[in-house]
Structures are given as C-alpha cells and as structure tokens.
Amino acid sequence: MQTKAERQAEGDRSAETTVTVRCTGHVRTHIGVGRLKYTFEGDTLREFLAAFFEDHDVKEMLIAETEQEAMTDGWAPEFGELPGENYAKNPEGEQSRRFARVLVNGIFNEHIDGLDTRLGDEDRVTLIYPFIYCC
C-alpha cells in the first residue's frame, strides 16, 4: 500500500488530509465548537475550504466574492505607496471578507500561497470572524 506522500508524488489528488480547525467569533458560534479535527480529500487550502463549506455554512462569513466585500474604508490612512515590503492579497473572489481572516499555522493565507497553500496532516487552519471589532 502506498503512503500519502507517495500517492501525492504521483499526482493522486484523492489523498486525505486531516487538519485541526480553530474557529473564533461568529464562525465558532455557528459551528458550535472552537476546535475540531477535519479530514478532507486533497491537500490545499482551497480543497479544505470547499469541503468545509459543504459541511458548515460559513462561506458567507469568510470569503468575499468581490473586491468591495473585502475592502473597508475610513479606519486607516491611505498611502500612495505603502511603507516597507511584504504586502500581499489574494485575487478577487479568493479574498477574505472585511474583518475576516483564514490562517494556516498562524499565518494569514495571503502571506503564504493564498488558497493554493499546501496543507499537511496536523496543520492548523484558523477561521476568524470578526478579526477586529469596534463599537
């Protein structure tokens, strides 16, 4: 019998991955728990989210369909050119909603490989909404 790594090396996308899912805020309230193990077919964040959203109706809380749903205004100054480096965002349709975030092992997914981030057994996926709340 082949190992998961051997199946993946041969391009078998049906390999299963088990991650720990942590949920906060409204996501936790909707799902009913703050932490769970979740097994899905594949090994990317995109495949995880597709499977997870089939089982748990939280996509509307987390994923922005348009750029406008991902953006907010009025709480930070706008810069013509941002200071520093390492600014990244996912393409339209793959962004988090405003005030929501998806993390892999504590890192915002847009700072890794977005929804194409590879997941392995025992990785942690955190679903946060709201990421920030005021008033």
Domains in the chain with CATH codes: 15-73+86-129 (3.10.20.30)
Task: Determine the distance from the C-alpha atom of residue 34 to the mean position of all C-alpha atoms in its chain, rounded to a whole number.
Answer: 16
65-108 confidence digits (pLDDT tens): 887 777 766 656 666 776 666 666 666 667 777 788 899 999 99
pLDDT at 2 over 50: no
Res. 6 pLDDT band, cuts 50 70 90: low
* pTM given for the model: 0.76
When pLDDT is averaged across residues 2-20 and rounded to a whole number, the result is 68
- Encode burial over 6-44: b for 16+ CB neighbours within 10 A, e otherwise: ebbeeeeeebebebebbbebbbbeebeeeeeeeebebbb
Tokens 């993390």 appear where?
103
Confidence category of residue 31, pLDDT binned at 50, 70, 90: very high
Question: Using CA atoms, how far apart are residues 13 and 119, in angstroms rounded to an integer?
Answer: 13
